[in-house]
Structures are given as structure tokens and as C-alpha cells.
């Protein structure tokens, strides 16, 4: 899981899926849990993006420059 979790794009994709799941859930507890985890993943992705930008690794990694086709 280290490889998946170290890519901010993967974390944001998972967060978007969790937000969709929260929208479709009828249980308020499940909605709150999904939204809480989605927010945590988004914060983690933001932190990772900031640290990789400082390291200069984002320029060399073509995986980070793939376009994303997603409507949130």
C-alpha cells in the first residue's frame, strides 16, 4: 500500500469515491464516516504534494503529470 498511498493523485481519487459513497448512503453515520475519511485523505494528498514539490521529485515523475478526467 505504500506505493498507492504515496501518490497524491491516488489519494484524491479515493477521496472522491468516498464522497460519492457518502452521497449515495442512506445512513447518516456512514455518510459522516466517509466524509471524515475523504477529508483526511485530501489533507494527506495536499501534504504529500507540498513535500514532493520541495524535493523536486514531481518534475521527474511522469505519473504525476497524467491528466485527470473527473467531475467532483
51 within some domain = yes
Give the pLDDT of residue 49.
82
Block means of pLDDT (10 residues each) for the chain, 72 residues, are 73 93 93 94 89 61 63 64
Show the domain range for 50: 2-57
pLDDT at 20 (0 to 100): 94
- For the chain, how many structural domains are there in total? 1
Grid look-up 497524467 returns 66
pLDDT at position 9 is 87
pLDDT at 1: 47
Q: Is 50 exposed, middle or buried (0-12, 13-18, 19+ CB in 10 A)?
A: exposed
Within a domain: 6 = yes
72 assigned to some structural domain: no
Q: Report yes or no on 25 lying in a domain.
A: yes
Amino acid at each position: 500500500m505504500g506505493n498507492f498511498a504515496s501518490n497524491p493523485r491516488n489519494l484524491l481519487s479515493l477521496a472522491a469515491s468516498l464522497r460519492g459513497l457518502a452521497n449515495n448512503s442512506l445512513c447518516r453515520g456512514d455518510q459522516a464516516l466517509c466524509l471524515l475519511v475523504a477529508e483526511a485523505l485530501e489533507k494527506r494528498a495536499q501534504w504529500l504534494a507540498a513535500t514532493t514539490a520541495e524535493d523536486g521529485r514531481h518534475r521527474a515523475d511522469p505519473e504525476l503529470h497524467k491528466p485527470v478526467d473527473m467531475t467532483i
